[in-house]
Amino acid sequence: MASLAEPRGSRARSRSPARSPGLSPALGPSRCGEERRKAASDAAQETQVRPVDLNYAIKLLEDAGSSDLEDQQLKVLKKVVKSFENGLPLKDLAQIMDILNLCAEKVNEQEAFIEPVCELIKLCGLPFQKKKFSDEVNYSVAVSKSIAQLGCLMRVPSSQVRIQICKCIISFYKMELPKKLLPGYQPTSADYKIQMAELGGLAETLVLSLALVENQLTEKLWVLKALQHLSNSGVNCRHMIKAQAASRLCLYLNGTDPSGQLVFRSSEILWNLLENTSKEEVVSQLNSLECIHALKEIFVDRLINGFRHYDRQLRNDLLVIATLVAENSAASMIESGFTMLLIALATFTEVKIPNPLLEGLKLTYSYEDFEMKKLLFNIIGIFSKDPHAVQLLSENDVMPALLYYVKPHKKPGFHDWSAAQYEELQLHAIAILASVAPLLVDKYLSCQANTLLLVFLEWCVGQDPFFGQGNSFHGTGGRGSKLAQMRYGLRVLKSVVSLYDDAVNLNLCDQGAISQLLEILKYAANKLEQKDDAILLEIQANILFILSVLCENDVHRKELFSYEGVHLLISFLQMDPKKLHSGLGHRRLLFSALDCLWSCVIGCYIAEDYFLEQQGIFFLLDLLALKQKSLCNIILGILSEFCDNPKTIIHISTWRGEKDQTAAKLLIQLWRQEELDLGVQRDQYGRIADVKRPIAGSFQKEQEIIPMPSSCPSFAIIEISENIRAKLYSLLCKLGFENLPGLSAKDFITLAIIRRYIDFKVGEVWSEVCTELKEEFRPIASDEETLRVISEVSENIGKMVTAYQTEVLENHHHQEIQEEEKAYTKIRAVHKQKEMVNKSWENFLTRTSNYEALKKAKRLQEKLIEASKSKSKTQNGAVHSTDIKGLGTTVGSGRLVTVESAPSQLVGRPLSAKRLPVKRVSFGAGALKRNEKS
């Protein structure tokens, strides 16, 4: 036929000689006959494989006629298969798919087309051929549609065709190059078909085709195998979810299949869906009673009858899927009976109570059973979050089963768990107990759980040797110690005391829990001094919380806490502020200590006095001076409560911070910072800028006043609890607004506002009342006049405070001027003194360098000496000369005194008969030394 003839270029290539060393250009005799024969064979083969006119083939298949036409169609199909046996070119792929679709329509009536269809599908499994590198992009749309058509061919009612389609899809992931390539072509990249399958949505079509092979096990397994490969891609998984793949696959889990592949492949695909798509979408598809029943049946089958390693692994995988379903659909789990089964299984080994659900079950101590045990504990924690499952937890003895592990660690027996496994189960069980115990308080008390926990905690701080493995999630940080056990035991206590149940708390206190917890707190504090550790910080914070709950509103318990507890609290308050930002938990520990201080110390005079004696108020003010917003609120509340003790005011007034800062100045600074954060209007000097609303912040001013019921507080009242100004006002009221030391003029300006805080707040409330009344009512004249007077009073207070602030500023300015004048006077005196010193020095230099000036100075000195002498003459007295003979200086003489004997009448007694010679005694430094030696 002319239509099947080769293109001109192809024939030319077939006749052209092969360029090889064994053949001459003229195809003459070769030196190697074997190479010549081989070349001739290749040339003949190339001549036979001629491209087919695909348009003619499509037109021929579209015709419907006699049996002779059918033979021609089959013959053309064989030629098409033969032409493309080494791979389909990208440019011809769309036409090949058209041929496939035409053949698929004929399969229903003519079984002879099954084999050609399978052969063509097999060709789709070979690498596609491209001429240019850009062909992969240029033909991507056509290729993706063609690959998607493979999924549509699953409609062909032929098992052979369907299996071949699945094999073709699987070959995308195990691509093998053909032995011979088409001339001028090269294969596409290895993952090109995978990308095109994702782009065309092949996975979604293949999931929908599961309905066509519902009753054919072999075909179903091949489809699942193909889906298993496709589900490794997140894009394919999203396509599969659109086709409700999760619910469809879940229903196949308990299908009849002697080989076990149905369960294996379905569970693998479900896992891939959970990992590669949104878990919520997958679980929502599994959230049906039919799917949960299927999960339950296959789980029980593998639990009772599964003895192989694979069966146990599959059982655990199904348990994980059931756990995810339980997180989102606990009601369906309860209705199906799956919840009851799992709870009974979780307590199977700890509580020896026969359960008909688990007859014939025998658990080993293999690794898979160990993993199942942990999964069962985990699902108990999930059930505890559902109110509908609480009754089932109570009826199936979950509390005794979990308390079974609240005991000192003992070495396991030969057929028991290993030491590491038992420790992990123990910690996991105690962690779940923290979630279950608050729900089953009656069971908790009846099992004497408080006693067990206190004994367990006593073992944790004891000296018994124990080497924790610390190689699990719950054992983190507990390697070689009992810290992990202590951590989770305290979590259980924290969860139950958080209920504020009097029976639980009384039971704890009656067993000496307060003193024991203080000992554990001291133990952890000593450990923390050696090295900062997040677990130790958590332990201490939880103990402080438990003590806070136990001692709150009970003076006797506070007295038990007082001395040793206060000493520990003081150490926490002295924490290095730099550690608050370490991220380990120091901030939480500090807040727990402050909460414990409020609950365990305030209200008990013994504890309060001891706290004051230990200078605790000073440490609180040191923390307040850090000006951290999160700390200020609670510290100010504690200080306000402490001020009920009269001794506290003295401590607050005595405290001094950096640069001799007083407590009053610190409180005023905090007030200014709070107003800055609230956006309160102030002028450049800190005075009131808006006398009508002097303390309202920017957010408060933006709020519209809406009429509300009397039971609902207005915004002006709510605002009090949302900032620290009320606490600052309360503290300053107790300190007093007069005679506060260490304040500047700016502080006095702010203090004037603080002093009138209540008046301003009352004015805000009245303003809201006026606005609400005018929106719904029209007050009578007398009421309107009263409201006007009240508003004017509030405004006048603002004006009065502003006037006082202005007066303070003026006085401060005047005082500054006076101080400036005094400073200038001092400066002038200093300068004058310096001038006199300089002048004296110049005169001295003149006398030493100019003899005439020296003589003149000498004469002036003598004249001044004579002038200073008394004019009245001393009667009957000796006159002593003040001149030192031979002295040639005009400066003061040294310490040289000449004493002559005085007449007897001056001394008051007669001289001796023997006349003593007159001596001249010198009192210089050398004479003094000689006298000392003598």
**In this model, does residue 886 exceed pLDDT 80?**
no
3-state secondary structure (DSSP) of residue 662: strand
Residue 158: CB atoms within 10 Å: 18
Q: 829 or 912, which is more confident?
A: 829
Q: 188 or 776, which is more confident?
A: 188
Residue 86: CB atoms within 10 Å: 19
Residue 31: the pLDDT is: 40
Q: 906 or 722, which is more confident?
A: 722
pLDDT tens digits, one per residue of 517-528:
999 999 999 988
| CA atoms within 13 A of residue 200's CA, in its CB half-sphere | 24
Residue 881: the pLDDT is: 65
Residue 923: the pLDDT is: 37
**In this model, does residue 65 exceed pLDDT 80?**
no
Q: How far is CA 121 from CA 206, 600, 626, in A?
A: 15, 81, 77
Q: What integer is the mean pLDDT of 761-774?
A: 87
CB distance 801 to 752 below 8 Å? yes
CB distance 801 to 694 below 8 Å? yes
Residue 887: the pLDDT is: 62
Q: How far is CA 918 from CA 425, 899, 902, 934, in A?
A: 115, 10, 10, 22
AA letter at 253: L
CB distance 163 to 212 below 8 Å? no
| CA atoms within 13 A of residue 538's CA, in its CB half-sphere | 17
**In this model, does residue 80 exceed pLDDT 90?**
no
Both tokens of 131, joined, read 């001429």
Q: How far is CA 64 from CA 58, 100, 105, 108, 277, in A?
A: 12, 16, 12, 14, 47
Distance CA 804, CA 633 (A): 30
Residues 6+ apart with CB under 8 A from 641: 598, 602
Please give the mean pLDDT across all residues of the chain.
83
337: region left, alpha or beta (phi > 0 left; psi from -120 to 50 alpha): left
Least confident of 246-255, 561-570, 914-923: 914-923
Question: Counting Cβ atoms within 10 Å, is residue 312 exposed (0-12), middle (13-18) or buried (19+)?
Answer: buried
Task: Tell me 180's DSSP state.
Answer: S
CB distance 731 to 662 below 8 Å? no
**In this model, does residue 885 exceed pLDDT 70?**
no
3-state secondary structure (DSSP) of residue 186: strand
Task: Tell me 130's DSSP state.
Answer: E
Distance CA 113, CA 98 (A): 14
Residue 713: the pLDDT is: 84
Question: Counting Cβ atoms within 10 Å, is residue 94 exposed (0-12), middle (13-18) or buried (19+)?
Answer: middle
**In this model, does residue 892 exceed pLDDT 60?**
no
**In this model, does residue 7 exceed pLDDT 60?**
no
Please report which confidence band the pLDDT of residue 45 belongs to, taking 50, 70 and 90 as the band edges: very low
Distance CA 224, CA 193 (A): 19
pLDDT tens digits, one per residue of 188-220:
888 898 999 999 999 999 999 999 988 889 999
Task: Tell me 359's DSSP state.
Answer: T
Question: Counting Cβ atoms within 10 Å, is residue 345 exposed (0-12), middle (13-18) or buried (19+)?
Answer: buried
Please report which confidence band the pLDDT of residue 417 belongs to, taking 50, 70 and 90 as the band edges: confident
Residues 6+ apart with CB under 8 A from 115: none
Q: 794 or 434, which is more confident?
A: 434
Find where tokens 């360029």 sit: 19
Both tokens of 440, joined, read 């089953």
**In this model, does residue 49 exceed pLDDT 50?**
no
pLDDT tens digits, one per residue of 376-389:
999 999 999 888 88
Q: Where are the beta strands (DSSP E) in 267-389?
A: none
Both tokens of 350, joined, read 């700890």
Please name the helix (run of DSSP H) or strand (run of DSSP E) that holds residue 776, with its range, or none. helix 757-776
Give φ, ψ of 678 to 5 degrees: -80, -15
Q: What integer is the mean pLDDT of 454-465?
A: 89
pLDDT-above-90 percentage for the chain = 42
Instruction: Extract long-range pairs of 651-658: CB within 8 Å, 24+ residues apart.
Output: 651/612, 651/615, 651/617, 651/618, 652/617, 652/621, 652/731, 652/735, 653/735, 655/617, 655/618, 655/621, 657/621, 657/622, 657/625, 658/625
Q: How far is CA 210 from CA 67, 168, 206, 427, in A?
A: 35, 17, 7, 45
Q: 365 or 627, which is more confident?
A: 627
AA letter at 103: C
Please report which confidence band the pLDDT of residue 465 belongs to, taking 50, 70 and 90 as the band edges: confident
Q: How do 129-130 and 186-187 pair as beta strands?
A: antiparallel
CB distance 537 to 544 below 8 Å? no
Q: What integer is the mean pLDDT of 738-747?
A: 90
Q: 30 or 495, which is more confident?
A: 495
Q: 532 or 162, which is more confident?
A: 162
pLDDT tens digits, one per residue of 850-879:
888 888 888 888 888 888 877 765 556 566
Distance CA 282, CA 244 (A): 9
Q: ∠283-285-291 over CA atoms, to 5°?
A: 95
Give φ, ψ of 184 to 5 degrees: 80, 0
CB distance 79 to 1 below 8 Å? no
Give φ, ψ of 129 to 5 degrees: -110, 140
CB distance 289 to 249 below 8 Å? no
* Of 69, 42, 72, 196, nearest in space to 127 by CA: 196
CB distance 266 to 252 below 8 Å? yes
CB distance 22 to 31 below 8 Å? yes
**In this model, does residue 501 exceed pLDDT 70?**
yes
**In this model, does residue 825 exceed pLDDT 50?**
yes
Range list of H helices, 63-176: 67-83, 93-107, 114-124, 135-138, 140-152, 159-171
Number of H helices, E strands in the chain: 46, 2
Query: How far is CA 371 from its chain centroid?
Result: 29
Residue 781: the pLDDT is: 85
Q: Where are the beta strands (DSSP E) in 552-689?
A: none
Distance CA 849, CA 598 (A): 83
